[in-house]
Structure 1
């Protein structure tokens, strides 16, 4: 079990960071975080700091043009009314595809009949700059295994591919 304080800078702006006194804790080597993130801190001891940069291919991948789609506006009807509270540019909307896979799309444009949605991970195509300090390293306990998601089941880019990344890292539940 590794605890880290971190700051993620993207395009010159802080995109995410741990809260003071609340390090991100994760079970090393289980795919909860990006592989290159784990590689950069492997073997480091508490108190050690490291800064590193991940290219899009080592982060959340390149932008995929096919992941930006126009959906019929009637898909956003709730109880016979248009869900206007979620239909604005920048809104993150949880959805499911025809196979039941959960994903989050970002509203890019609202037209008269269609809504342009981007299903790329919000950090796709971005260069990720991390400043990390290892805070703790210890053996995993049975309690650590309770309440953790089995990452890889959500498919929206978190935990390396499904649950935690980019949101509240301390809860590891699917969004």
Structure 2
């Protein structure tokens, strides 16, 4: 069976930055593969395009340029926020406000965002809301383990998860291989 819309795909992969010899940042194995419903909007569009039509046993090896992965770094997504918005019960958790920490937040529309703390001053926190892999070229290599029809439950789960979060991604989705 070929990979296509509404097929349940199981695969292994290695994800490297900037080419086949670049730094490996993520790897799955046959014991813990990446599994997803193809065409459900949970994976990078170009990632799925490269896998379309493949079958169990096929190997893949391709690069996604930053513009086709998580985009270029958007300087407008790096913002200074007033430190007082991090107060809970009148005080700020200084341990949470550590450079490098990822902090879950919400925008004015209630959308969930993760921001990385870049700087902390007495009255402000500089955060980067770009995807951690924005600006990076991604190299994927791996193998298709299986392809089958997605079950009705799997299709319903993807649909309800997409509609409840608005962007097709939930926290169970990996940082790399897929979520926008």
Q: Distance in 2 between matches of 1:168 and 1:5?
A: 11
Greater RCO, CA 8 A, separation 6+: 2
One of 17, 31, 37 as aligned partner of 2:41: 31
Match of 2:10 in 1: 3
Query: 1:102, 1:154 within 8 Å by CA — same for their partners in 2?
Result: no
> If the length of structure 2 is used for normalisation, what is the TM-score?
0.83
Aligned residues: 165
Structure 2 segments unaligned to the other structure (5+ residues): 1-7
Cα distance, 1:165 vs structure 2: 3.6
> If the length of structure 1 is used for normalisation, what is the TM-score?
0.85
One of 93, 96, 113 as aligned partner of 1:103: 113
Structure 1 segments unaligned to the other structure (5+ residues): none
Moved over 4 A (4+): none
Match of 1:89 in 2: 99
One of 131, 146, 153 as aligned partner of 2:141: 131
Match of 1:71 in 2: 81
For residues 105-125 of structure 1, what are the alpha-carbon distances to aligned partners after superposition, in whole Å with 9 as ceiling and x for unaligned? 100011121110000011111
Q: Distance in 2 between matches of 1:167 and 1:87?
A: 24
